[in-house]
Structure 1
Amino acid sequence: MTPLLLSVAVSSGGALRLWLRAGFGRGIGLWRAAAYAAGWLALAAALLSPLHWLGERLFTLHMVEHEIVMVISAPLLVLARPAGAFAWALPAGLRRPVLQVGRVWPLRRGWAFLTVPLVATLVHGLAIWIWHMPPLFDATVQHVGIHRLQHLSFLLSALLFWWALIRRCGPGPAALHVVVTMMHTGLLTVWL
């Protein structure tokens, strides 16, 4: 709950700070703020609502929880592009240095590689398949920390996947990546 509350507080604070300075809706459009709010609410609903409690008892609802994180929340958060709001939440003297970290050559190269659509699709697929192997899946049921790590890896790999498809891929190839992902997760469903 703490990371979710912190993220919404920082994002909201940054957006409000920018809007007080530049005017309501400027710099961070209202549709981006709405996309962030919807993605955040979907994530909170999956992880904090009774769905989470029920998901620990019913396998189907556990899978619904995962799908909300990866297929609803992640693309909405990518569409929101919240980095600007997060940056505006920082004190003025820290904004530029923090943003410059992303321009450091190894980080920039690593991000460029990870957001190649094929690479992002493979990373996301591996995260899904690895966590559903019986020993790891059983560990998530028995240990809260491992379960949280599973959710985090699903969210991060889904953010990477959707970022690559939305920001670095045309509509046709993006649809192909989604279909391939649907096919291999369908196979996983049959296997389970």
Structure 2
Amino acid sequence: MTRAHSSPAGAVLTAPERAEPGRSGPAELWPLAAGLLLLALLWFGPLPERARGSFAAHMVMHMGVVAVAAPLLAVGVARAMPRLVSSFPPALAIVASALEFVAVWTWHAPALHDAARMDPTFFVLEQASFLAAGVLVWATAVGAPGDGRVAARAAGVCALLITSMHMVLLGGLLLFAPRPLYACAEVCSPAAALTPLGDQQLGGALMLVIGGSAYLAGGLALLSSVLRDRAPTGETA
């Protein structure tokens, strides 16, 4: 498979197919360690405090969780527990993409987003749901090392491309909204030199570019593997 270097998501998607099932040494589990390290930086660094007053900073954290940390963790889990991941039915990838759609759009509803910006409990719930949904989508799409089930990978392609589309749609809505959509834009202090609307537009652009491109690159990389390794006619996946 040709490596997809346009995003971290596309790059790591090829990794599970090169690993040997049942042989996940410490060196092969680096994506899991990298994902956990990134989560620690995102959640325990300066971003959470910054995100209280900046929609764009909040979006950086969101995209870091679902578009970078989640695929790294999914690859690590697939290598560490290949039997578990290979037991996932193909339809689970589509269900996972629907769950992520619900999580992302629900937490960007004005009331819940404002609550997550201002209340630590809601913030934890929001971030936990983003991570759980993101890892589930990527894990079901990536599959286990050496898993040649075409149906499972084809479902993963659909899941990633659907997720890319709704990320672009929501990012566009935030980018082109004529006014701030969140009360927190007026209550919190926005990023320096940005109006509340400008801050929201920057956040929307980040979701559109990072979220949309990460899932698109992942879907295209997975599609490449399906086309390369598709089963002969008459063979069941």
Q: Which residue of 2 aligns with 1:142?
A: 118
Q: 1:53 is matched with which residue: 49, 55, 65?
A: 49
CA separation of 1:56 and 1:78: change in aligned 2, threshold 3 A:
same
Q: Kindly indicate whether the alpha-carbon contact (under 8 Å) linking 1:32 and 1:81 is maintained by their aligned counterparts in 2.
A: no
Cα distance in 1 for partners of 2:159, 2:80 equals: 28
* Total equivalences in the alignment: 144
Matched, 1:189 2:171: yes
Cα distance in 2 for partners of 1:152, 1:130 equals: 13
Q: CA deviation at 1:148?
A: 0.4
Q: Which residue of 2 aligns with 1:65?
A: 61
Q: Which residue of 1 aligns with 2:192?
A: none
Q: Which has the higher contact order (CA 8 A, sep 6+)?
A: 2
Q: Structure 2: which amino acid aligns with 1:143?
A: D
Q: Which residue of 2 aligns with 1:179?
A: 161
Over the residues paired in the alignment, what is the CA RMSD in angstroms?
A: 2.9
Q: Kindly indicate whether the alpha-carbon contact (under 8 Å) linking 2:35 and 2:68 is maintained by their aligned counterparts in 1.
A: yes
Q: Which residue of 1 aligns with 2:135?
A: 159
Q: Which residue of 1 aligns with 2:105?
A: 129
Q: CA deviation at 1:176?
A: 3.8
Cα distance in 1 for partners of 2:77, 2:37 equals: 16
Q: Structure 2: which amino acid aligns with 1:130?
A: T
Structure 1: tracts of 5 or more residues without a match: 1-25, 86-101, 103-110
CA separation of 1:63 and 1:113: change in aligned 2, threshold 3 A:
same
- What is the TM-score of this pair, normalised by structure 1? 0.65
Cα distance in 2 for partners of 1:55, 1:116 equals: 33
Q: 1:80 is matched with which residue: 70, 76, 79?
A: 76
Cα distance in 2 for partners of 1:55, 1:48 equals: 12
Q: Kindly indicate whether the alpha-carbon contact (under 8 Å) linking 1:131 and 1:150 is maintained by their aligned counterparts in 2.
A: yes
Q: Kindly indicate whether the alpha-carbon contact (under 8 Å) linking 2:29 and 2:80 is maintained by their aligned counterparts in 1.
A: no
CA separation of 1:114 and 1:70: change in aligned 2, threshold 3 A:
farther
Q: Which residue of 2 aligns with 1:36?
A: 32
CA separation of 1:135 and 1:43: change in aligned 2, threshold 3 A:
same
CA separation of 1:114 and 1:182: change in aligned 2, threshold 3 A:
same
Structure 2: tracts of 5 or more residues without a match: 1-21, 144-148, 175-237
Q: CA deviation at 1:130?
A: 0.6
Q: CA deviation at 1:117?
A: 1.3
Query: SS of 1:28's equivalent?
Result: coil
Q: Structure 1: which amino acid aligns with 2:51?
A: G
Q: Kindly indicate whether the alpha-carbon contact (under 8 Å) linking 1:124 and 1:157 is maintained by their aligned counterparts in 2.
A: yes
Q: Kindly indicate whether the alpha-carbon contact (under 8 Å) linking 1:32 and 1:79 is maintained by their aligned counterparts in 2.
A: no
Q: Percent same amino acid among aligned pairs?
A: 30
